[in-house]
Amino acid sequence: MKKFLLIPFLLFAVFSMAACGGSDEEPSSPEQPGMSGQPDGGDGNDDGSDTPAPGGNGRYLVLYCSRTGHTEGAAQMIRTTLDCDILEVEPQVPYDNDYSSMLSRAQEELAGIRRGNYPAIRTSVEDFDGYDLIFIGYPIWHGSMATPMQSFLHEHAGKLAGKRIALFATSGSSGISASAGEARSLCPDATVIERALLLTSSTLPQMEGRISTWLDEIGAVREEPDTPDASSLKVNISTGDRTITATMEDNAAGRDFLSRLPLEVTLNDYNRMTEKIFYPSPALTTDGAARGCAPEPGDITIYVPWGNVAIFCKSWSHSNDLVKIGRIDGNGIDVLSVEGDVRVRIERQ
């Protein structure tokens, strides 16, 4: 799962407003640097299919389209709050940076949609299996849902049948009711939650609090991983016809180690039978794990500067560069306390 941190508090510019054809809402202000509409989210593939960037909570998916970055900011905040999957919906042809050209194209695309002609997009999703709730985010253009998201919902209506959808939008001043009606028309077999979130130019500075309140209101909560029981932290270490057991630590490094199993590795003798070591590839994460220990026989550790796993056969002095990730049970370390290298198979019980 890629790691994502809470985005810093965004400095938002007020949406630009321009009179155009009697519409009460225009597309948002011209793109900020780096937000030109070019692919900058998800994992786009040349074949048009996309894989959502994964989070730790697979129940939710955030889909969004954004031109100025306002909607993207809201989408990323939802994703970070829930630790869930996210994917950007992108037009096949990026929008012009020129604001007037953008206005004209938006009007043409909205008129085309009313005739049944949806603009091409480069984003598609194979299925929505496993998602309990799908967040749909978009800017409001001329009172309507932004056209790339309309195209996405039109193309994926069948796959979204039976799914729950939560809408959030950014707007200069228009309401969200018209675009909510469009969502229901585009996905008649999905359930669009009545309570939607609208962030206008006057409420964008309160984005974090408004999103938090809205998520509580619709019952979308972050799921913390269950604390594993002792048995789920147990591993077998086999060499020849002998098998010993070990118990891994419930920390990020220990869980990363468990996720790599089963492993068949050669434990190299180091420092005259003081340690048996090997180098996992890639190196195990040590994020959030306590550093520093005085290893005793049977301790399983990571030596952070080198990234190697070290199983201690003898006691050693305290080192701030060691992270303890487990311990061999009982007197099992005797099996590894031999001269030379040892070939082992490590697997979960």
pLDDT by residue (tens digit) across 53-73?
877 667 899 999 998 899 999
User: What pLDDT, on a 0 to 100 scale, did the predictor assign at position 229?
Assistant: 58
User: What pLDDT, on a 0 to 100 scale, did the predictor assign at position 170?
Assistant: 95
In angstroms, the CA 234 to CA 326 distance is 9
Name the pLDDT band for 277 (thresholds 50, 70, 90). very high
In angstroms, the CA 346 to CA 313 distance is 17
Min mean pLDDT across 48-57, 65-74, 239-248 is at 48-57
Q: How far is CA 139 from CA 72, 76, 226, 251, 314, in A?
A: 10, 15, 37, 41, 63
Tell me the whole-structure pTM to 2 decimals.
0.56
Query: What pLDDT digit, counting tens, does each position of 78-119 carry?
Result: 999 999 999 999 999 999 888 888 889 999 999 999 999 999
Going by C-alpha positions, the residue among 296, 343, 348 that lies closest to residue 322 is 296
Token pair for 61: 């998916």
Distance of CA 190 to the CA centre of its chain: 24
Going by C-alpha positions, the residue among 201, 298, 188, 186 that lies closest to residue 244 is 298
